[in-house]
Amino acid sequence: MTEPLTSPARPILSIEGLSKQFGDHTAVDDVSLDVRPGEVVAIIGPSGSGKSTLLRCINLLESPTTGRITVGGIPTEVDGKVSQRELVALRRKVGMVFQSFNLFPHLTVLRNISLPQERVLGRSRAEADARSMALLEQVGLASKASSHPPRCSGGQQQRVAIARALALDPSVMLFDEPTSALDPELGLEVLSVMRQLADEGMTMIVVTHEIHFASDVADRLIVMADGRIIEQGDPKTVIDDPQVERTRTFLSAIR
């Protein structure tokens, strides 16, 4: 009766009719989106088009006005009455990486990654530290384990933030302009870690203006404007031959 959660036929993340109002302003307007296991979805669009609000609603950092979010087959009605239990359950499955890395400056890199595992998953310190070290290897920062974030470059801090999110074994990773606070060369090391994650089959939604990343790594490109999805499709097709005038204007502005 129950299908395996990773069945390719079934989306790992399903968003239905998601809207978010701030007063009388509609920041996200009836967005629906299915993401398949292992799919990488890039989202672009002008500033103020609701990209961040959409991501923040998906892991309930922002409480959506209406909609339903299903992760791994478990639906949550998100109409402002989400229980604490549902919120914690959903947030565990959806990792998020922000433009500003949001690490604790007074904790070492290792503790930044281990502490959430102990608090959220109840892992022992030894277990959490072992997992953190493996992730630091993966993002190329094992040598920084005992450093404090302010001693690390922005690119290193963002890679730590990615490791911290991965440490909770999420089903989906959300990235909100993860490189836009970084100098280009530091952005590249972050994009390279993200590309590696994508190659390993992580399901990802990435808000980005890095059109090369979107074109090379994403399976699908979504264009948002005024809180809505105005165009989506194969990234190269959308970039080379946009069907909607606003997409064309936006793409020529960022290239």
Residues that bind Mg ion (CB under 5 A): 51-52
Who's near 96: CB < 8 A, 6+ residues apart? 55, 59, 61, 165, 173, 174, 175, 176
Q: What CA dihedral angle connects 58, 64, 68 and 72, to 10 degrees? A: 20
Residue 22 binds ligand ADP, judged by CB under 6 A: yes
How many residues bind to ligand ADP according to rule CB under 6 A?
A: 10
Local structure of residue 49 (DSSP, 8 states): S
Q: Is 11 helix (H, G, I), strand (E, B) or coil?
A: coil
Q: Using DSSP bridges, classify how beta strands 74-77 and 94-97 pair: parallel, antiparallel or unpaired.
A: unpaired
- Closest approach, Cβ 180 to Mg ion, in A, equals 9
For ligand ADP, give the closer residue by CB, 54 or 186.
Answer: 54
Which of ligand ADP, Mg ion, none sits in contact with 49, Cβ below 5 to 8 A by type? ligand ADP
Q: Using DSSP bridges, classify how beta strands 220-225 and 203-207 pair: parallel, antiparallel or unpaired.
A: unpaired
Which of Mg ion, ligand ADP, none sits in contact with 27, Cβ below 5 to 8 A by type? ligand ADP
For ligand ADP, give the closer residue by CB, 101 or 250.
Answer: 250
Q: Using DSSP bridges, classify how beta strands 203-207 and 172-176 pair: parallel, antiparallel or unpaired.
A: parallel
Which of Mg ion, ligand ADP, none sits in contact with 190, Cβ below 5 to 8 A by type? none
- Closest approach, Cβ 43 to ligand ADP, in A, equals 9
Alpha helices in the chain (DSSP H): 51-58, 84-93, 109-121, 125-138, 154-166, 184-199, 211-217, 235-240, 245-254
- Closest approach, Cβ 98 to Mg ion, in A, equals 10
Q: Using DSSP bridges, classify how beta strands 74-77 and 66-71 pair: parallel, antiparallel or unpaired.
A: antiparallel
Q: Report the residue closest to Mg ion, judged by CB.
A: 52
For Mg ion, give the closer residue by CB, 117 or 179.
Answer: 179
- Quick note: the x/- pattern for ligand ADP over 24-63, rule CB under 6 A, is ---x-----------------x-xxxxxxx----------
- Closest approach, Cβ 126 to ligand ADP, in A, equals 40
225-254: burial string, b at 16+ Cβ within 10 Å, e else: bebebbbbeebeebbeebeeebbeebbeee
Local structure of residue 75 (DSSP, 8 states): E
Which of ligand ADP, Mg ion, none sits in contact with 108, Cβ below 5 to 8 A by type? none
Which of Mg ion, ligand ADP, none sits in contact with 53, Cβ below 5 to 8 A by type? ligand ADP
- Closest approach, Cβ 34 to Mg ion, in A, equals 22
- Closest approach, Cβ 1 to Mg ion, in A, equals 41
Rounded CA-CA distance 22/132 in Å is: 38
For Mg ion, give the closer residue by CB, 141 or 182.
Answer: 182
- In the complex, the residues that contact ligand ADP under the rule CB under 6 A are 22, 27, 45, 47-53
